[in-house]
Amino acid sequence: MPKAALPPFLIPAPEPGLAGFIETPTTRDIDMQMSALASQAMTYAIIALAVFMLGWGVLGMLEYLTGAAPVMALQNPTFPPGTQFLHWVLITTFGAVFLIGYATRWQLTPFAVIVLFAMLATMCFIQTFDFMTNSYRFAAFAFECVLYLAIATYLLRSERMRSWFR
């Protein structure tokens, strides 16, 4: 009689170590796999953000220095020239520092990024409360601050980032 025809309680359980035996993952194993997958996704998201910020900063700085918009107008006419310049310097610096730090596994990258986030949040605060006039400026500022805090927390607390920048 084939095994499939036997009632389940009569089919012998495979013994560990037998060829073809597949161990059923535990809830802890699945949680660890999901955590590793989420951590990897977060890492890729930060890399993508850094690439975007670097590109945006370079294009914005080119427009600031030359007056010609390579892709589209990026300057905010309500910002004074010094504020606009510092805006592009900080955005470009974040992208460059994170990408170079990640590629070289520079151990101070998380701390350098957090310092840059503090500077960017300060700049955003000034822009939001002193110069911007759009209706969603406060929500955008809050979102930006929460994003900086989430990334900073991940860079400091994640096992993946701690081992990468060791």
pLDDT digits 0-9 by tens, 12-56: 555 555 555 556 667 777 778 888 889 999 999 999 999 999 999
User: Whole-angstrom Cα distance, residue 82 to residue 84?
Assistant: 5
Q: Which residue has the tokens 């012998």?
A: 12
pLDDT at 141: 97
φ, ψ (nearest 5 deg) of residue 109: -55, -50
Whole-angstrom Cα distance, residue 85 to residue 90? Answer: 9
- Given a cut of 90, whether residue 119 has pLDDT beyond it is yes
Average pLDDT, the chain: 89
Q: What tokens does 79 get?
A: 């910002």
Coil/strand/helix, residue 21? coil
- Residue 27: what pLDDT? 78
Q: How far out from the chain centre does Cα 105 lie? A: 16
Of the two residues 35 and 155, the one the predictor is more confident about is 155
pLDDT digits (tens, 9 = 90+) for 70-101: 889 999 999 999 999 999 999 999 999 999 99
> Do residues 101 and 108 touch, judged by C-beta distance below 8 A?
yes
What local confidence, expressed as pLDDT, does residue 10 receive?
A: 56
Q: Which amino acid is at 73?
A: A
Instruction: Please report, rounded to a whole number, the percentage of residues in the chain having pLDDT higher than 90.
Output: 75
Going by C-alpha positions, the residue among 78, 47, 62, 57 that lies closest to residue 120 is: 57
Residue 149 CA to residue 5 CA, distance in Å, equals 58
